[in-house]
């Protein structure tokens, strides 16, 4: 059977989609190649969130088809995901040696389309049409052979987004919000737990909007909280996380779930994007700075020590020095454990791309630098405070930077590296933190009190 290599750009949703496609191909008998140089089929799962990500994927494909023409004339090439969705046929017009383009509602068709191309029944296939129930088609996992994944798995609970933030291309590439049923998701989680998974991360573009259209609020609990409750019931599951939520989704029912559900880890990645109310409004975020700060306060009250991370955009069109100062002051006030900072990148067909007041690269870089320095200083202080404390970790496998050591994650989502061995994999264990590095803690399981 042919071998396939999938290269993934972008977010965790894309990683999860690629994993499901790979698992579907393996189930059909394909093997997974270690690199594009030895694969019969190469698929790029693309991201459109930033212009740079699109350019990288286009350049990569142009480069690969160029080499293949000379060295591997029978190699098959395909684009999947967000850029495939937004550009469709245009990708083949631009790169005529590409064979397949599958959009974001068609991942599950990839295996059949490849069969048809490899059998010579079809030449080029472009499919970016909407498909009902496609949100429930991302379900297969590749647990075997990947140590990390056999301990911790991501489960896609919904697709799409209805928020239409003015800077974001996702609602156009992923479509309207569509949610799987609670029973379907719980069945997938149960199966994963029966195969050794201890931690599940519920995944979606805007997970807190899960089931809004289809599942009524019951006893004050939103559909999302009902789902978390149902997953929490699974025997053998130790930890639950979710990403990405929207601040709007942090009602009292969700805050209260943190106090009520011991398996729900005390960590929250809540994208704030800006500390300026003026910009939050123009970004169409749907909350104010005060509302965001109120959520953080409630969460910290419900779960003291909760790890809080965020996403922030710098250099949004029209961002004044005063707006940016508001973001700096919000970062000081919240003291994020981690913040992912993005320099604003105009995306075609989004309202922000045509707004007045586009800022220069120099201004964006300077603000990025200042915010990064602040966030790193605060995070370093927070990490340092953990030295000498005892934390619980779930051991995922060898450390990526130093495979001779093992790594696990605290409940508040911090990486801990320690001297261990394969027998620790999958274990929940206590370690004493002996040292803090840059976004990494170092621990020793042998010096517990
Ligand atoms: S909530 Fe906003 S930023 Fe997030 S995916 Fe939806 S439109 Fe994009």
Q: What is the DSSP letter of 158?
A: E
Contact 5, 35 (CB under 8 A): yes
Does the pLDDT at position 316 exceed 80? yes
- What b/e string do you get for 409-441 counting C-beta neighbours within 10 Å, with b at 16 or more? bbbbbbbbbbebeeebbbeebebbbeebeeeeb
Please tell me the distance between residue 164's alpha carbon and the centre of ligand 1 in angstroms. 6
Q: In the predicted model, what is the mean pLDDT of residues 394-402?
A: 91
Question: Is ligand 1 within 6 A of the CB of residue 57?
Answer: no
Which tokens sit at 393?
């970790």
Contact 65, 77 (CB under 8 A): yes
For the chain, state the CA radius of gyration.
22
Q: Specify the pairing of strand 100-102 against strand 41-46.
A: unpaired
Most confident of the ranges 46-55, 95-104, 438-447: 95-104
- CA–CA separation, 402 and 143 (whole Å): 22
Please tell me the distance between residue 245's alpha carbon and the centre of ligand 1 in angstroms. 10
CA angle 154, 166, 170 (to 5 degrees): 30
Q: Is 341 helix (H, G, I), strand (E, B) or coil?
A: strand
Please tell me the distance between residue 165's alpha carbon and the centre of ligand 1 in angstroms. 6
Instruction: Among 161, 242, 282, 353, say which to mutate for ligand 1: greatest number of ligand atoms within 8 Å of CB.
Output: 161
Q: What is the pTM of this model?
A: 0.93
- pLDDT confidence bin for 147, thresholds 50/70/90: very low
CB atoms within 10 A of CB 226: 19
The length of the chain in residues reads: 449
- CA–CA separation, 289 and 277 (whole Å): 6
pLDDT at 145: 52
Q: What is the DSSP letter of 218?
A: B
Question: Is ligand 1 within 6 A of the CB of residue 171?
Answer: yes
Q: In the predicted model, what is the mean pLDDT of residues 389-410?
A: 93
Contact 103, 129 (CB under 8 A): yes
Contact 282, 320 (CB under 8 A): no
- Main-chain phi, psi angles of 364, to 5 degrees: -60, -45
Quick: pLDDT tens for 330-371. Answer: 999 999 999 999 999 999 889 999 999 999 999 999 999 999
Does the pLDDT at position 204 exceed 70? yes
- CA–CA separation, 290 and 155 (whole Å): 32
pLDDT at 149: 53
Helices 289-302 and 321-334 sit at what angle, rounded to 10 degrees?
Answer: 10
Q: Is 310 helix (H, G, I), strand (E, B) or coil?
A: strand
Q: Specify the pairing of strand 415-418 against strand 338-343.
A: unpaired
Please tell me the distance between residue 14's alpha carbon and the centre of ligand 1 in angstroms. 15
Quick: pLDDT tens for 24-81. Answer: 999 999 999 999 999 999 999 999 988 889 999 999 999 999 999 899 999 999 999 9
Question: Is ligand 1 within 6 A of the CB of residue 206?
Answer: yes
Contact 419, 432 (CB under 8 A): no
What percentage of the chain exceeds 70 in pLDDT? 98
Question: Is ligand 1 within 6 A of the CB of residue 160?
Answer: no
Instruction: Among 163, 173, 177, say which to mutate for ligand 1: greatest number of ligand atoms within 8 Å of CB.
Output: 163
Question: Hey, which bits of 287-335 come out as E strands?
Answer: 307-314
Point out the ligand 1 atom lying closest to the alpha carbon of residue 205.
5
Kindly write down the DSSP assignment for every residue of 51-81, as one continuous string. Answer: HHHHHHHHHHHHHHHHHHHHH-TT-EEEEEH
Quick: pLDDT tens for 257-294. Answer: 999 999 999 999 999 999 999 999 999 999 999 999 99
Does the pLDDT at position 449 exceed 80? no
Q: In the predicted model, what is the mean pLDDT of residues 138-147?
A: 75
pLDDT at 343: 96
Average pLDDT, the chain: 95
CA-based end-to-end distance of the chain: 55
Q: Name every residue whose Cβ is closer than 8 Å to that of residue 350 and which is 6 or more positions away in sequence.
A: 166, 167, 168, 169, 172
Q: Is 44 helix (H, G, I), strand (E, B) or coil?
A: strand
Residue with tokens 């970062």: 331
Which is more confidently placed, 145 or 36?
36
Does the pLDDT at position 1 exceed 90? no
Contact 264, 234 (CB under 8 A): no
Instruction: Among 158, 160, 170, 249, say which to mutate for ligand 1: greatest number of ligand atoms within 8 Å of CB.
Output: 170
Helices 223-232 and 182-194 sit at what angle, rounded to 10 degrees?
Answer: 30
Determine which of 131-145, 151-165, 215-229, 235-249 has the lowest per-residue pLDDT on average: 131-145
Q: Is 269 helix (H, G, I), strand (E, B) or coil?
A: strand
Quick: pLDDT tens for 215-248. Answer: 999 999 999 999 999 999 999 999 999 999 999 9
Give the residue among 303, 299, 324 at the shortest CA–CA distance from 312: 324
Contact 263, 223 (CB under 8 A): no
Does the pLDDT at position 7 exceed 60? yes
């Amino acid at each position: 059977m042919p071998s396939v290599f999938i290269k993934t750009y972008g977010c965790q949703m894309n990683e999860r989609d690629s994993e499901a496609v790979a698992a579907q191909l393996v189930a059909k008998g394909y093997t997974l190649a270690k690199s594009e140089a030895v694969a019969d089929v190469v698929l790029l799962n693309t991201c459109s969130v930033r212009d740079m990500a699109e350019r990288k994927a286009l350049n990569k494909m142009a480069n690969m088809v160029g080499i293949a023409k000379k060295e591997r004339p029978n190699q098959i090439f395909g684009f999947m995901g967000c850029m495939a969705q937004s550009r469709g046929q245009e990708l083949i017009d631009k790169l005529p040696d590409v064979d397949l383009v599958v959009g974001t509602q068609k991942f599950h068709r990839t295996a059949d389309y490849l069969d048809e191309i490899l059998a010579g029944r079809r030449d080029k296939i472009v499919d970016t049409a909407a498909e009902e129930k496609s949100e429930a088609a991302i379900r297969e996992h590749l647990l075997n052979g990947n140590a990390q994944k056999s301990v911790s798995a991501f489960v896609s609970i919904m697709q799409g987004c209805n928020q239409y933030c003015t800077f974001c291309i996702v609602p156009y590439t992923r479509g309207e919000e569509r949610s799987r049923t609670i029973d379907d998701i719980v069945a997938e989680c149960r199966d994963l737990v029966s195969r050794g998974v201890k931690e599940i991360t519920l995944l979606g573009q805007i997970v807190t909007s899960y089931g809004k259209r289809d599942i009524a609020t019951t006893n004050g609990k939103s559909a999302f909280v009902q789902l978390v409750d149902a997953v929490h019931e699974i025997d053998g599951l130790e930890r639950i996380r979710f990403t990405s939520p929207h601040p709007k989704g942090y009602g009292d029912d969700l805050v209260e779930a943190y106090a009520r559900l011991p398996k729900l880890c005390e960590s929250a990645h809540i994208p704030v994007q800006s500390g300026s109310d003026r910009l939050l409004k123009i970004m169409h975020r749907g909350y104010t700075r005060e509302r965001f700060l109120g959520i953080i306060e409630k969460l910290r009250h419900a779960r003291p020590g909760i790890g809080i991370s965020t996403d922030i955009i710098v250099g949004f069109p029209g961002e004044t020095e005063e707006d940016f100062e508001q973001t700096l002051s919000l970062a000081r006030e919240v003291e994020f454990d981690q913040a992912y900072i993005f320099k604003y990148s105009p995306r075609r067909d989004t309202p922000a791309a045509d707004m007045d007041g586009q800022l220069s690269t120099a201004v964006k870089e300077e603000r990025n630098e200042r915010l990064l320095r602040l966030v790193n200083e605060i995070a370093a202080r927070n990490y340092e405070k953990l030295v000498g404390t005892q934390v619980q970790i779930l051991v995922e496998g060898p450390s990526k930077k130093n495979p001779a050591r093992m790594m696990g994650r605290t409940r508040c989502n911090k990486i801990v590296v320690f001297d261990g061995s394969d027998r620790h994999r999958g274990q929940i264990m206590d370690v004493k933190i002996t040292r803090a590095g840059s976004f990494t803690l170092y621990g020793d399981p042998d010096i517990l009190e």
